Amino acid sequence: MTTHERRARQIGWGITAVVAAAITTGVPTASADMVNFHIAAEPTVRVRVRPPGPPRVLDDYSFTLGDLSDPRPVRASSFDDLDGENFRVSEVPGLSRIEDIVETARTRSEIPDGQVTAVLVSRFGRDIRMVANVVSARSEVVVEFDRAGVFLRAQ
């Protein structure tokens, strides 16, 4: 990994552009409910979507380096509470602040050489949370934010 790539990963990989592109290039987020949104350091955005139509259908999409995958069907258990897990992208204004969230996660983790390897957006109980993994060779911290990107805790 080059110095430039290392620094890009540390400060958020320019991921806001990747998130925006994933949302606007075919992932049916405007008309569908999200189940989770996973941003990894590749940079890849993985989205689990509940498209309009049949109530128990889920599809996975990935968006990497400008390419959107075809939808991949997901097996849903009849016991999964899909209604309770869903959210819309518009409910998570913090997605527009991913670089700030990554930088805050690195700072609040107190890991000097930590890198954010992933940010997961999902519903935890009734709340939508953004959770960042910060890791180094010897440490790992999970940093949690609310849906607006406000820091909540590091553990």
| pLDDT tens, residue by residue, 24-38 | 555 555 556 666 777
| pLDDT tens, residue by residue, 68-107 | 788 899 888 888 887 788 888 888 899 888 889 989 999 9
Tokens for 152? 């909540």
Cα 21 to Cα 27: distance, rounded to the nearest angstrom: 9
Q: Which residues contact 136 (CB under 8 A, 6 or more apart)?
A: 111, 112, 113, 114, 115
Q: Across the chain, what does the average pLDDT equal?
A: 79
